[in-house]
Structure 1
Amino acid sequence: MGLAEEMSAARSGSGHAGRLLGEFRRTALLVPLSEGEGGGFMSGWQGGVRWIYAFTDEEALTRFAVARGAGACEWEYLSILGARLVDAVIPMVDGPTGVAVDVADRDGSMLFPPVVGIVPDAYAVDAEPDRAEAV
């Protein structure tokens, strides 16, 4: 099963968290690049968490662009493994950061929050202080 199918199974209650996270880490996600001075990955804020937008395929990215009123524009994006996104990119971002996958797909999106087991412990909002320092 691919990531989209694992997310669908998880949303329906028939998925397995370990398989979902494994597939997320193995999948090459499309992450749009921000325009403007700061550059970097396109992201948004919700509930005190920065969410990096990532997509399972170009069609999902296009639906997101259309939802933002930018469907006629060409967006630059980077293809990056989910594992690299959470293990290497998130530690470089200030503050709690997670990954929002396929956010334009109301019934097909999934959030990977900044918690133990998804991001490195030192960057997880739920890490015990002693555990985060040991990393």
Structure 2
Amino acid sequence: MEQARTALAERIAGRRAGAGDPRALVGEMRRSVLLVPSDDAGGLWSAHSGGVRWICAFTDEEALARFALQRGTSNRPLEYVALLGARIVDEIVPGLGEPAGLAVDIATEDGSMFFPPVTGIVPDAAALDAEVEGAGRGR
């Protein structure tokens, strides 16, 4: 039996279908508890693409299991932490020291969403499009 989608997964589906308010989607991401797998070094699993480090998070254990299956690691336990989306984008992303964003449900066909390092998603000091006092554009 298929598990009911989380509120964030529902909002992502709506945006991908061309409906819904992007600000409401960001708000839902910030309020949601996301599952972030640990990498081999015990840090948060992330990937680099397009000059951005993407922290990979999942809306539920089913979405995390799809990720493990695609990575070929479904035969062993996948360690993860549960974090509020707000904590990821407000605290963890700025502390990485490089352009970073949040990638949600990357193993869910037609259900993933990327939250890039821009104003309105991450703090201005970590946003690539923000005017940072005394530093010009971005970082």
**TM-score, scaled to structure 1:** 0.92
- Which runs of 4 or more aligned residues in structure 1 lie more than 2 Å from their structure 2 counterparts after TM superposition? 129-133
Partner of residue 107 from structure 1, selected from 87, 105, 110: 110
Partner of residue 32 from structure 1, selected from 34, 37, 54: 37
Residue segments in structure 1 that go unaligned for 5+ positions in a row: none
Displacement, 1:18?
Answer: 1.4
In structure 1, distance between residues paired with 2:107 and 2:20 = 21
Which deviations, in whole Å up to 9, do the C-alpha atoms of 1:65-108 show, x marking residues without a partner? Answer: 10011111111100000001111111110210000000001200
Match of 2:122 in 1: 119
Matched positions, count: 131
Alignment partner of 1:48 is 2:51: yes
Identity of matched residues, %: 54
Q: Which letter does structure 2 place at the counterpart of 1:16?
A: D
Displacement, 1:132?
Answer: 7.3
Match of 2:7 in 1: 2
Displacement, 1:130?
Answer: 2.9
SS in 1 for 2:133: helix
After superposition, the CA RMSD in angstroms is 1.6
In structure 2, distance between residues paired with 1:12 and 1:28 = 23
Alignment partner of 1:19 is 2:24: yes
Alignment partner of 1:67 is 2:70: yes
Structure holding more helix per residue: 1
**TM-score, scaled to structure 2:** 0.89
